[in-house]
Amino acid sequence: MKKNRFKKAWLNEHLTDPYVKQAQKDNYRSRAVYKLREIDEAHRLLRPGQVVVDLGSAPGAWSQYLARKLGADRAGAIVALDLLPMEPVEGVHFIQGDFREPEALKRLEAALLGRRVDVVLSDMAPNLSGIASADAARIEHLAELALDFAGNWLEADGALLMKSFHTGYFSQIVTRFKQQFRVVRTLKPKASRDRSAEVFVLGSGLRKQG
């Protein structure tokens, strides 16, 4: 009963949401694209010729945005990864796999063909159990892995944009960003629903290690 009411409310919000309508009009697979677009426009993140990795890419709206924005320039590359299958997006090399598994990471790294990465994007969200401490740990684990990947593969002036959540570990995640990047911003784009605990962290320019 309660579940049904929740479903109804969600459906109602979904059907009246201006970003959902806009996504249909612009032929994007999800409203999530407008979060990336807003951040990209404000912080000039993405340019033709870049090598970009899109983590947690399904159903593919961010990949579509990347392909439209960077697609024509053959010097660049877009590599996307998700647990779930994704309909192909022209110009995007998609890998289906679990980012927590070393085997999936290997395939992702192989797809880079030795190139360093300009921008790592992560919109990954773990399946939530409803148990706050377990969920926070899953979010933190994925964040750590994305930070490690960015540390190993980004160009010195590269950037990592990561979706995160205001959970118990959020301040630790931001601290990790500050250890790794010269400039760190936390961002709440308009398309991110107010009541959602979701927040984006953007780190730019790797600090020199050692």
Ligand X SMILES: C[S@@+](CC[C@H](N)C(=O)[O-])C[C@H]1O[C@@H](n2cnc3c(N)ncnc32)[C@H](O)[C@@H]1O
In the residue annotation, 190 being an active-site residue is answered as no
Longest CA pairwise span in the chain (Å): 57
* Identified catalytic residue from 106, 163, 190, 208: 163
User: Of all helices (H) and strands (E), which one includes residue 81?
Assistant: strand 77-82
Nearest-CB residue for ligand X: 56
In the window 177-206, what residues touch ligand X (CB under 6 A)?
none
Nearest to 183 by CA among 204, 199, 166, 169: 204
Close Cβ partners of 200 (under 8 Å, ≥ 6 residues apart): 35, 39, 161, 162, 163, 164, 186, 187, 188, 189, 192
Q: Does residue 32 interact with ligand X by CB under 6 A? A: yes
**What sign does the CA torsion over 164, 165, 170, 174 have?**
positive
Strand partners, 119: 52, 159
> Would you say 124 or 199 has its CB closer to ligand X?
124
Q: Which stretch binds ligand X (CB under 6 A): 40-48, 98-106, 178-186, 193-201?
A: 98-106
> Would you say 130 or 210 has its CB closer to ligand X?
130
The single residue among 23, 34, 60, 181 that binds ligand X, judged by CB under 6 A, is 60
Q: Does residue 29 interact with ligand X by CB under 6 A? A: yes
Residue 18 burial (CB count, 10 A): 10
Q: Does residue 159 interact with ligand X by CB under 6 A? A: no
Residues that bind ligand X (CB under 6 A): 29-30, 32-33, 56-62, 81-84, 98-100, 123-126, 142
Q: Which residues are catalytic?
A: 163
